Amino acid sequence: MAGTLVAQLLRRKPIVFQHHPHQGEELPRNLTTFQLMMFGVGATVGTGIFFVLGEAVPKAGPAVLISFMIAGFAAGLSALCYAELASAIPVSGSTYSYAYHALGEIVAVIIAGCVLLEYGVATGAVAVGWSGYFNELLHETIGWQLPDALSVSPIPGTDHVPTGGIINLPAVVLVLLCMLLLIRGASESAKINAIMVMIKLTVLALFSVIGFSAFNADHFSNFFAKGFTGVSAAAGTIFFSFIGLDAVATAGEEVKDPQKALPRAIIGALSIVSGIYLAVAGAGLAAKPASFFADKDNADAGLALILKEITGNEVWSTILAAGAVISIFSVTLVTLYGQTRILFAVGRDGLISKKFLEVNQRTMTPTFNTVVVSIVIALIGGFVPADYLWDTVSIGTLMAFSVVAIGIMVLRRTHPELERPFKVPGYPVTPILTVAACLYIMYGLAAITWVIFLIWIVLCIAFYWLYGMRNATLNHYTDPEEIAEPSGRRRDLEDERG
Amino acid sequence: MTYLVCYSPHKDDIGAIDLACQFARSEHDTVHALTVVPRGWETAVAGDTDRDFEQWAAQEGAASAAEALEVLARHTDVVSTATWVAGRSVPQAVCEQVDALGASLIVVGSGENGPRGYVTVTSKTDRMLHSAAVPVAIAPRGYRPVPDSRITRVTMGFRDDDASWTLLDLVASICARIGASLRLVTFAVRPRRMVVSAMRDDESDIFAQWKSQAQAGLDEAVTHLRDQGLVDVEAVLAQGRSWGGAMDSVEWGREDVLVVGSSSTHKLAQVFLGSSAAKILRNSTVPVIVVP
């Protein structure tokens, strides 16, 4: 009995490709390194930088700049490790699917839990941040804004001060709007994505230029006031803003020479993103003392408020708020989409209800899945304050990346024969360094974050124990076709050879 | 019941007449060709110009009806008539005549702006699609069926939803009556992908699941039809990257006709042609019947 249990917990999903490949259906995308790099920049910038300063600066003081570098360093290393795992397991999907194929069922369940935090909670957090900018935009354009009761969560933040809120209505409405779009089958085209990236970069550049014009060196005195504990705690929060860099890793098979192109694209994207973040954080600190960020009243729409105070003019802050409102909307759409697709993959493996697999015949979207996910995320966005959300997202992501880094080391030993179009440079130092960096940042996160995270993972495992274990597709499939992957680039190559 | 075919002297509507006769032959029904000419201004005191205009319109109408009769005369086995009416708007006049004549189907041509061999929806047809209470059949541009041919196969655009199931029984009963075979086609067009996504090839997974659901729906429909006694039924899942590609992947013959439902059952949605139906129309090389 115990033997079979362990066997089930450790069993790996075999890699089988569908028997009847429909030739010519795959969309070939031959990306250049530069395009891939820009893809990474576009996917990363915007998730956190618009809101994270108000959360991170109070923790680290001016040394928040160091925190940005640490978080960026960890994110870059993680992305490299992730890229190797993605290239070794040529199936569709995300970290969860790769883990199921490479590391076994129970690890996949834990990763699924982490990734649900990464995308689900991130969507909630981004929606809350959007709400702040939306309200600021309302205030500056029509002179009226939603009262606190309708724009702030009722649960007190980490400072335990009553909020006077009932529900964060804009966040709820935003998530539900994105749900409608996704149900209708909306997708963001390359062109729209490029426009969104331009909007984000433009408003951030605007902020930096104006911020530095109000440079005050005194704001950087007492640089390490909060010590290294503060720096690592802030790095944990900030890590959230680097989520999306892993998108580059999943696109690795779409470049001609992944071994060369991937690290260049990842490091290039990371440098650009870090550069932008440092400029924004530097400009913020140059313009306002660290104490400004600690004030709760300045937490919402922080960047816009700083612009308003520097220039004494509402034009710039209105432009920034408008840019944020438009581009964060697209970030919410994309992360919500990612979340539904991850659950779809989990449902395909039978670890959650097959209802999550039902695709609407007209719109070709998993409707039930999208509605359930959106409602849960809307509740998170509407009722949980952002303080808790960001750190939770970070811990989930960091844990997933640590497992990935350990996973590639395990795979190198257990399956040295696997074809790996991309191998992590500097093995084994890079994966070990990745684990160390992730653990260091996680160590700095608050105890409450750890408690939330562990409870969540225990819940995931309990759910697996009660449901997934019995209903896993691997338990009862008779035909390999049932678990076959619908696509895979390498399969196409084999077809061509064959 | 009769088939109402719209005939205009200034357009090449011979294809529409041929199509209507093809239907009539299959169903042993009659064809009525209708020309709509502009109606003059209703003035209290009709001046010379107004009377001239009305006379001119009447002459045009009569000439056109005569011309239509000539074309119809080629189809000796089909009982046909031709008339003209005056009206402010062609679609509106046609819809009124549908009620007056008790027509069961409107047949129109494709105009001359679209590519040859393809169905094009003209502005007048578009209006009829939105407001007519009966199905509208559109002949591709330059449609020339085999002389004296009938409809031998009906292809129905099928999607596993309530509207399609309702239409299915109707189409099946017509097929049984005219002795045509029925082919159900679900068009599987790959969805667009989200450009920035954490998932690799996620739309492939969704598409694969959609296809297996669609195939299950088709199988269920075929079983349902066989249970009803219709033997000559087949089902095809036509795949492609675009609607055109999916349509091209299906084999089309010269005695084929394609039936699509215009949209969902929702009252408001009926006003608009479904987006899928519109894409099917644009890419069809065989006559299409749009059922409201």
- Structural domain tally of chain B? 2
Distance from CA of A371 to the nearest CA of B (A): 16
Best of A401, A487, A491, A492 to substitute, by most chain B Cβ atoms within 10 angstroms, is A487
Decide: helix, strand or coil at residue A168: strand
Answer whether A22 sits within 8 Å of B200, measured CB to CB: no
The answer to whether residues B12 and B125 belong to one domain is: yes
Nearest by CB: A250 against B200, B214, B217: B200
Q: Taking a C-beta distance cutoff of 8 angstroms, is the pair A57, A64 a contact?
A: yes
Distance from C-alpha of B185 to C-alpha of B217, rounded to nearest angstrom: 11
pTM for the whole structure: 0.87
Decide: helix, strand or coil at residue B253: coil
pLDDT value for A185: 81
pLDDT value for A314: 87
- Considering only CA atoms, which of A151, A153, A128, A147 is closest in space to residue A52? A128
The pLDDT-based confidence of B232 (bands split at 50, 70, 90) is confident
Contacts of residue A327 in chain B, CB cutoff 8 Å?
none
- Average the pLDDT over A7-20 and give the result: 77
Distance from CA of A152 to the nearest CA of B (A): 30
Whether B195 is in a domain gets the answer yes
Answer whether B207 sits within 8 Å of A337, measured CB to CB: no
Q: Taking a C-beta distance cutoff of 8 angstroms, is the pair A155, A381 a contact?
A: no
pLDDT value for A493: 40
CATH number of the domain to which B240 belongs: 3.40.50.620
pLDDT value for A14: 82
Q: Please, what sign has the CA dihedral across residues A37, A38, A44, A45?
A: positive
Domain range for B112 is: 2-138
Whether B104 is in a domain gets the answer yes
Residue A2 pLDDT exceeds 70: no
Residues 6 or more apart whose Cβ sits within 8 Å of residue B158:
B164, B168, B184, B185, B186, B217, B218, B221, B235
Nearest by CB: B196 against A43, A91, A362: A43
Residue B126 pLDDT exceeds 70: yes
Q: Please, what sign has the CA dihedral across residues B8, B10, B11, B17?
A: positive
Q: Which of B138, B172, B203 is the last residue of a domain?
A: B138
DSSP 3-state percent helix, strand, coil across chain B (nearest 5)? 40, 20, 35
Answer whether A361 sits within 8 Å of B199, measured CB to CB: no
Burial label for B30, CB within 10 Å (0-12, 13-18, 19+), is: middle
pLDDT value for A37: 87
Nearest by CB: A247 against B198, B201, B205: B198
Q: Of A17-26, A66-75, A216-225, B281-290, which gets the smallest average pLDDT?
A: A17-26
Contacts of residue A338 in chain B, CB cutoff 8 Å?
197-199
Determine the Cα angle at B72 with ends B71 and B78, to 5°.
155
The pLDDT-based confidence of A299 (bands split at 50, 70, 90) is confident
Residue B270 pLDDT exceeds 50: no
Determine the Cα angle at A483 with ends A478 and A487, to 5°.
145
> Higher pLDDT residue, A290 or A187?
A290
Whether B147 is in a domain gets the answer no
Nearest by CB: A193 against B196, B201, B208: B196
pLDDT digits (tens, 9 = 90+) for B12-28: 788 999 999 999 998 88
The answer to whether residues B98 and B169 belong to one domain is: no
Answer whether A338 sits within 8 Å of B197, measured CB to CB: yes
Tokens read off for B262:
């215009």
- Considering only CA atoms, which of A167, A175, A176 is closest in space to residue A146? A167
- Average the pLDDT over B122-131 and give the result: 86
The pLDDT-based confidence of B263 (bands split at 50, 70, 90) is low
pLDDT value for A133: 92
Tokens read off for A186:
């909306």
pLDDT digits (tens, 9 = 90+) for B50-78: 888 888 999 999 999 999 999 999 999 99
* Number of residues that this document lists for chain A: 498
Q: Taking a C-beta distance cutoff of 8 angstroms, is the pair A120, A339 a contact?
A: yes
Q: Of A45-59, A294-308, B125-139, which gets the smallest average pLDDT?
A: A294-308
Answer whether B196 sits within 8 Å of A39, measured CB to CB: yes
What percent of chain B is modeled with pLDDT above 90? 44
Residue A28 pLDDT exceeds 60: no
The answer to whether residues B127 and B161 belong to one domain is: no
pLDDT digits (tens, 9 = 90+) for A327-383: 899 889 988 998 998 899 999 899 999 999 999 888 888 999 999 999 999 999 999
Whether B146 is in a domain gets the answer no
Tokens read off for B123:
């502005």
pLDDT value for B274: 61
Closest chain A residue to B210, measured at CA: A359
Residue B265 pLDDT exceeds 70: no
- Asked if the peptide bond before residue A428 counts as cis, ω within 30 degrees of 0, the response is yes
Q: Cα–Cα distances in Å, from B114 out to A14, A40, B110, B126, B168?
A: 51, 43, 7, 14, 30
The answer to whether residues B112 and B170 belong to one domain is: no
Q: Taking a C-beta distance cutoff of 8 angstroms, is the pair A17, A488 a contact?
A: yes
Distance from C-alpha of A342 to C-alpha of A304, rounded to nearest angstrom: 34
CA–chain centroid gap for A57, Å, is 21
Residue A298 pLDDT exceeds 60: yes
The answer to whether residues B268 and B159 belong to one domain is: yes
Whether B95 is in a domain gets the answer yes
Contacts of residue A244 in chain B, CB cutoff 8 Å?
196, 198
The answer to whether residues B160 and B259 belong to one domain is: yes
Tokens read off for A108:
């996949």
Distance from CA of A476 to the nearest CA of B (A): 19
Residue A455 pLDDT exceeds 90: yes
Distance from C-alpha of A445 to C-alpha of B285, rounded to nearest angstrom: 64
- Average the pLDDT over B283-291 and give the result: 91
Burial label for A43, CB within 10 Å (0-12, 13-18, 19+), is: buried
Residue B239, φ and ψ in degrees, nearest 5: -110, 150
> Higher pLDDT residue, A190 or B241?
B241
Residue B159 pLDDT exceeds 90: no
Distance from C-alpha of A454 to C-alpha of A55, rounded to nearest angstrom: 22
Q: Which amino acid is at A143?
A: G
- Average the pLDDT over A71-80 and give the result: 93
Residue B273 pLDDT exceeds 60: no
Distance from C-alpha of A407 to C-alpha of A164, rounded to nearest angstrom: 46
The answer to whether residues B56 and B175 belong to one domain is: no
What one-character DSSP code corresponds to residue B28? T
Answer whether B209 sits within 8 Å of A93, measured CB to CB: no
pLDDT value for A491: 45
The answer to whether residues B181 and B235 belong to one domain is: yes
Closest chain B residue to A192, measured at CA: B195
Answer whether B199 sits within 8 Å of A251, measured CB to CB: no
pLDDT value for A93: 77
Decide: helix, strand or coil at residue A166: coil
Whether B42 is in a domain gets the answer yes
Distance from CA of A344 to the nearest CA of B (A): 8
pLDDT digits (tens, 9 = 90+) for A489-498: 444 444 433 3
Answer whether B191 sits within 8 Å of A246, measured CB to CB: no
Answer whether A348 sits within 8 Å of B205, measured CB to CB: yes
Contacts of residue A251 in chain B, CB cutoff 8 Å?
200
Which CATH fold topology does A29-497 show? Answer: Amino acid/polyamine transporter I (1.20.1740)
- Average pLDDT value over all residues in chain A: 87
What are the DSSP calls for A200-241, one per residue? HHHHHHHHHHHHHHT--GGGGSSTTTTHHHHHHHHHHHHHGG
Distance from C-alpha of A77 to C-alpha of B175, rounded to nearest angstrom: 65
- Considering only CA atoms, which of A119, A36, A184, A41 is closest in space to residue A332? A119
